[in-house]
Amino acid sequence: AYRGAGRPEASYLVERMMETAARQLNVDPAELRKKNFITQFPHQTPVIMAYDAGDFHASLDAARKAIGYDGLGARKARAKSEGKLRGIGVSCYIEACGIAPSKAVGSLGAGVGLWESAEVRVNPVGTIEVLTGAHSHGQSHETTFAQ
C-alpha cells in the first residue's frame, strides 16, 4: 500500500462510493464519473488551488478506446462461460503537481519547487511501463505503481 500521503485512502473511498452509486443507479461507472468532471476552466477550488485547463472527458474516452472498453461486457461473459472471472476497474484522480513556482506554493510554506513528471507507456504487446522520478523510500512505490 502507498503510505504516508493520505490522498490514496481518500481517493479509494471516493472511488468506492462512485462504484456503489453506479451499481445502485444502474449506470456505467465510467459514464457516472464523466458526469462529475470539471468542464468549465479556469476552475477555482475552495482550498487555494485552481485548475487552469483540462479535457478530462477526452482523456477518459481515449483510455476507454485504447482498451476496448465498450466490448468488455461480451469478453467478460465469454470468459465466465470458460470458468474465468474478468472485471474492469475505473478510477479518476487528479493531484496537484508541477505547481511551482507559484503564489500557491509560497502560501503553503514551501520554499522549493514541487516539479515531477511521469510517463506511462502501453506497449503493443500488452505490457505497461511507468517512468517516474520518484524513488522508493518505504512507501511501496513498486507495488503501488504496478497496481
Q: Does domain 7-94 have CATH number 3.30.365.10?
A: yes
Could you tell me if 28 and 39 are in contact, meaning their C-beta atoms sit under 8 angstroms apart?
Answer: no
pLDDT at 39: 92
DSSP helix/strand/coil, 69: helix
Report the C-alpha gap between 15 and 53 in whole angstroms: 23
- Tell me the per-residue pLDDT of 133-145, one tens digit each, with 9 for 90 and over: 777 777 777 887 7
Residue 65 has pLDDT above 70, yes or no: yes
> C-alpha cell of 73?
461486457
Q: How confident is the model at residue 27 (pLDDT cuts 50, 70, 90)?
A: very high
pLDDT at 21: 97
Could you tell me if 79 and 86 are in contact, meaning their C-beta atoms sit under 8 angstroms apart?
Answer: yes
Give me the half-sphere count of Cα atoms (radius 13 Å) on the Cβ side of residue 93: 15
Report the C-alpha gap between 83 and 3 in whole angstroms: 36
Report the C-alpha gap between 64 and 103 in whole angstroms: 36
- Tell me the per-residue pLDDT of 108-131, one tens digit each, with 9 for 90 and over: 655 555 566 788 899 999 888 888
Segment 47-63 shows an average pLDDT of 88
Could you tell me if 69 and 76 are in contact, meaning their C-beta atoms sit under 8 angstroms apart?
Answer: no
Segment 27-50 shows an average pLDDT of 89
Burial class (CB in 10 A: 0-12, 13-18, 19+), 37: middle
